[in-house]
């Protein structure tokens, strides 16, 4: 009776070991893209911790990724999901997007210095007069333009 029991135990151990081996085999079958010293390589997932420990990063190197195909890789493209946003694009003032990837958005970008949307407000008392497209200087109702500034109409 004892011998049978021992035999069963041994069988269970072997079965468990086989299961473990099988699952380990499956895991090592998975591959992961990493960036290793500036080179995109594909390694076994099981080797990932060792690579991360010496400074590699998960995913392809930025120089190898240009998802939106605008000619700028992820290294230089601040939005690699939008081909109209890249370092060669024009800053669009007022869309809350850093269109040209220089780190400055809309009115913070020097490219928008002369944009109407970035002009300080005008027309209210004490503020500069607004300048209409035809050159007329105007102020809010009840105020008139005096020496370029809006003052209460006498």
95 vs 140, beta carbon nearer Ca ion? 95
Dihedral angle, C-alpha 70, 71, 73, 75, nearest 10 °: -100
Q: How far is the CB of 145 from Ca ion (least distance, A)?
A: 31
Q: What residues form DSSP beta bridges with 39?
A: 36
Q: What residues form DSSP beta bridges with 35?
A: 40, 57
**Tokens matching residue 38:** 């500036």
Contacts of 63 (CB under 8 A, 6+ apart): 38, 73, 74, 75
Q: How far is the CB of 130 from Ca ion (least distance, A)?
A: 23
Q: What SS3 class is residue 30? A: coil
Binding-residue pattern over the window 15 to 54 for Ca ion, x denoting contact by CB under 5 A = ----------------------------------------
Candidates 43-51, 53-61, 106-114, 134-142: pick the segment binding Ca ion (CB under 5 A).
Answer: 106-114
Q: Which residue ranges make up the site for Ca ion (CB under 5 A)?
A: 66, 68, 70, 72, 77, 79-80, 85-86, 91-92, 95, 97-100, 102, 104, 106, 109
């Amino acid at each position: 009776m004892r011998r049978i029991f021992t035999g069963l135990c041994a069988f269970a151990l072997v079965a468990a070991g086989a299961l473990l081996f099988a699952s380990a085999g499956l895991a090592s079958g998975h591959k992961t893209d990493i960036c290793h010293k500036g080179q995109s390589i594909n390694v076994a997932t099981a080797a990932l911790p060792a690579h991360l420990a010496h400074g590699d990063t998960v995913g392809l190197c930025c120089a190898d990724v240009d998802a939106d195909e605008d000619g700028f890789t992820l290294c230089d493209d601040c939005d690699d999901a939008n081909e109209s946003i890249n370092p060669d694009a024009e800053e669009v003032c007022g869309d809350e997007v850093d269109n040209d990837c220089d780190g400055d958005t809309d009115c913070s970008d020097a490219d928008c210095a002369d944009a109407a949307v970035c002009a300080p407000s005008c027309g209210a008392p004490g503020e500069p007069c607004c300048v209409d497209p035809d050159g007329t200087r105007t102020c809010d109702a009840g105020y008139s333009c005096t020496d370029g500034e809006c003052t209460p109409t006498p």
